[in-house]
Amino acid sequence: MAAIHSIPTIAERIAQHPCYSEQAHQYARIHLPVAPACNIQCNYCNRKFDCSNESRPGVVSKLLSPADAVKRFVAIKERMPNLKVVGIAGPGDALANPNKTFATLKAIQEVSDDVQLCISTNGLQLEDYVDDLVDAGVHHLTITLNTLEPTIAQYLYAWIYYQGKRITGLEAAQTLIERQVAGLRAASEAGLLLKVNTVLVPGVTDQSIDKLAQFLKSENVFLHNIMPLISDPAHGTAFGLHGIRGPNDDELLEARIQAGVDMKQMTHCQQCRADAVGTLAPSPCAETAASTIKVAVASKDGKVIDQHFGHAQQFWIFEVSTSRVRFIECRSVEQYCQDKEECDTSDDLPAAIATIQDCAQVLSVRMGMAPWQQAEAIGLQPVTDYAYQPLTESLKKIQALLPVTPSLAEVS
C-alpha cells in the first residue's frame, strides 16, 4: 500500500523552502531551465543570459526539454535527499513558456511527492494561469513587481508583447502593471504563498519602494525581496550600456529599511541562475557569531534615531558585523512608558524589552533608569550616544567599534 502523506501546513511549507525562510538553509532547491522565451524586455536584461529578475547574468544556461529536466531532477534528488524545492525561473519567463513549464511541473509531480514546486514570473500572463498553477500543485510563487507607477516603470521596460501586439512606452508600463496587479490578486485569492522581487535601480525604483511595500502588505504578500540591479556593460543590457548603475550597500540598506516598515524583507537571496542547484548556505567566509551582533533602534521612520525608549512603538532590528550592516526587520512593540507616574519595576520583563532581548544593544534618544537596569540585567546594552543622528551612519560607527575576529592565518 502506498504511504499516506499528510498535507503540509503553510508553516511547514515555509520552513522547508530555503528562499522563504532563512532558517531553511539546510534544504536545497533546483532550478530547471526549461523556459527560454520572454514576453517583455526589461532594460536590465540581455536575453543571452538568464532572467535578471531571478538570476544573475552569467554563463548562458543550457536549456533543457521537460523530459531532460525531469531526468536531471531525478538524478540529483538521488544524491541530494535534502532537495526540497523545484523551481522554474527562466532563463526567460516561466509563464511565457506555458507548455514547457506545465509539462515539467506535471512530470515532477509524477516522480516525487517530496518536493515543493515554485515558479517565478514577470506577472504579465499570471492571471490567465493561476488556476493551472494551483492544479499543478504550485504553492510558492514569485512575481517581479518593480513599481506601481507607470511613469517610473516606463524607464524599466523597452516593450511588452501582449495580446498579439508589441507595446512600448507608457502604455506598455501601464498595461504591465495592471496585469501584474490583477495576477497578484488572483494568486493571493487562490492561496498561493507570494514573494515579490523588486529590482532596485537607484533614482528609479527606490522612489516608490515604500508605496509598493504598503501595497504588498495589503495584498497579503508573504515576503519582499529587493534585489540590487546588476549592471555590467559586459552583459550588454540597455542599462549596462547606458551606464545606469546598481545601488551601493547604503542605498540597498535604505530601501530595505523603507520597505521593511510594511513588508518582511528577504536579505539572503543569492540572485541565482536559472539552472542553480543546492542550498543557500551562508558563504564560508561569513563572520563568526562572536563578531556579529544584533542592534535594535528606536526610530519613527527608520532614518533618524528619534525616539525615547519609553515612547517607541517599533524597533528596527539590524545585524551588524565587521563586514556589513544588514537590516532584518521592523518589530512593533507595546510602548514601555504608559504615562503612569512611575515606570514598571516589577520582576516581569516588560514587553518592549522582551521583544528585543535577542539584541546586544538598543539605540534610543533617552532611556529611563528602570528600563535601563532591566535591559542591562539581561545583557542588552542601552546606547544613547547617537540621539537624533542618522540611523545608518550610527550603525556604521557601532560597526567600527566591533572587535575584529582574527583570521585563520593569524591564529596559531
Q: Which residue has the cell 498595461?
A: 175
Q: Quick one: which segment of 48-56, 203-211, 366-374, 397-405 binds ligand SF4 (CB under 6 A)?
A: 48-56
Q: Assess 45 for contact with ligand SF4 (CB under 6 A).
A: yes
User: What is the x/- site pattern for ligand CLF, positions 20-59, by CB under 6 A?
Assistant: ---------x-x----------------------x-----
The DSSP H or E segment spanning 326 is: strand 325-332
- Total site size for ligand CLF, rule CB under 6 A: 18
Q: Quick one: which segment of 122-130, 159-167, 269-277, 386-394 binds ligand CLF (CB under 6 A)?
A: 269-277
Q: Assess 104 for contact with ligand CLF (CB under 6 A).
A: no
Contact 329, 260 (CB under 8 A): yes
Residue 42: contacted member of ligand SF4, ligand CLF, none (CB under 5 to 8 Å, by partner type): ligand SF4
Residue 283 gets the label, from left (phi > 0), alpha (psi -120 to 50) or beta, of beta
* Least distance to ligand SF4, CB of residue 69, Å: 18
Q: CA separation (Å) from 135 to 105, 139, 276?
A: 10, 10, 25
Contact 189, 133 (CB under 8 A): no
Q: Which residue has the cell 543571452?
A: 48
Q: Assess 40 for contact with ligand SF4 (CB under 6 A).
A: yes
Single out the residue of 51, 83, 89, 395 in contact with ligand CLF (rule: CB under 6 A): 89
3-state secondary structure of 180: helix
Distance, in Å, from the CA atom of 387 to the CA atom of 383, rounded to the nearest integer, reads 9
Residue 138: contacted member of ligand SF4, ligand CLF, none (CB under 5 to 8 Å, by partner type): none
* Least distance to ligand SF4, CB of residue 178, Å: 17
Distance, in Å, from the CA atom of 81 to the CA atom of 79, rounded to the nearest integer, reads 6
Residue 398: contacted member of ligand SF4, ligand CLF, none (CB under 5 to 8 Å, by partner type): none
> Between 54 and 127, whose beta carbon lies closer to ligand CLF?
54
Q: Assess 196 for contact with ligand CLF (CB under 6 A).
A: no
| Sequence-ordered list of residues with C-beta below 8 angstroms from that of 218, at least 6 positions apart, any chain | none
Q: For the segment 58-117, give every residue that binds ligand SF4 (CB under 6 A).
A: 90, 92-93
Q: Helices in 84-193 by DSSP H: which ranges?
A: 98-111, 126-135, 150-153, 169-189
Number of residues that make up the chain: 412
Residue 118: contacted member of ligand SF4, ligand CLF, none (CB under 5 to 8 Å, by partner type): ligand CLF
